C-alpha cells in the first residue's frame, strides 16, 4: 500500500511545501550523494579497515541526520509525534519511494511497515547494501533524536538488510511527564 497520508491540519501547508519543493526527490538526492559516498568509504576501507571506515561514515551521517531533525523541528516549531508524522510524509515524494502500511496511529504511537523501498533497490543496484544500511537506514534513528528526545524509534529489521519489510515503531515518551 502506498503512503497516502495527508498533512496534519495544525501544521501549515506552506511549511509542508517547503519540504516538498526540491527539484529532485530524496531518492535522486541519495543517488547523487552515493556517487561520492560509496567510492570514498571504499577507499577508507582499504586505508583504515572496514570497521573504522564504517564507524567514521556512520558518525558523520548520523550527525548530519541529527542536525536535519533539529532543523525540521525548528521549521515546523514542534517536537511532538504529530509534527514528526508530517516530516515522515515528506520523505517519500508522495509515496513513490516508499510503500508504507500504517499499523498504529494515535497520540502516543506511530507504527508502520515499509513494504517497498526504492532506497534499498538503489543501493542493491550499486552493490552496496552494507553502506545503504549506514547511509540511508541509519539516518532514521538520528533524525528522530535530533527532532525530539521524546520520540523513540524501535526497528528490528530492514529491507536493506534482507528482510521482507522494515518495521518502524515510533513512540512518544516525554521525559517530563
pLDDT at 86: 80
Residue 112: domain span: 13-172
What's the domain count of the chain? 1
Distance CA 119, CA 114 (A): 11
Lowest mean pLDDT among 3-12, 27-36, 87-96, 123-132: 3-12
Which CATH number do you get for residue 71?
Answer: 3.30.1380
**Is residue 107's pLDDT more than 70?**
yes
Q: In what order do the strands lie in the sheet with 166-172?
A: 98-105, 109-117, 166-172, 151-154
Amino acid at each position: 500500500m502506498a503512503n497516502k497520508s495527508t498533512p496534519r491540519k495544525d501544521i501549515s501547508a506552506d511549511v509542508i511545501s517547503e519540504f516538498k519543493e526540491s527539484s529532485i526527490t530524496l531518492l535522486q538526492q541519495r543517488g547523487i550523494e552515493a556517487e561520492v559516498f560509496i567510492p570514498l568509504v571504499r577507499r577508507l576501507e582499504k586505508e583504515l579497515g572496514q570497521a573504522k571506515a564504517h564507524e567514521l561514515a556512520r558518525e558523520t551521517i548520523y550527525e548530519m541526520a541529527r542536525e536535519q531533525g533539529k532543523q525540521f523541528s525548528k521549521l515546523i516549531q514542534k517536537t511532538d509525534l504529530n509534527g514528526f508524522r508530517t516530516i515522515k510524509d515528506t520523505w517519500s515524494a508522495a509515496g513513490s519511494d516508499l510503500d508504507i502500511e500504517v499499523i498504529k496511529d494515535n497520540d502516543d504511537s506511530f507504527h508502520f511497515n515499509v513494504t517497498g523501498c526504492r532506497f534499498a533497490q538503489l543501493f542493491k543496484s550499486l552493490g552496496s547494501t552494507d553502506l545503504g544500511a549506514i547511509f540511508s537506514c541509519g539516518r532514521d534513528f538520528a533524525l528522530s533524536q535530533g527532532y525530539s528526545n521524546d520520540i523513540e524509534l524501535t526497528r528490528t529489521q530492514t529491507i536493506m538488510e534482507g528482510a521482507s519489510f522494515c518495521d518502524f515503531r515510533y513512540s512518544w515518551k516525554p521525559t517530563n511527564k
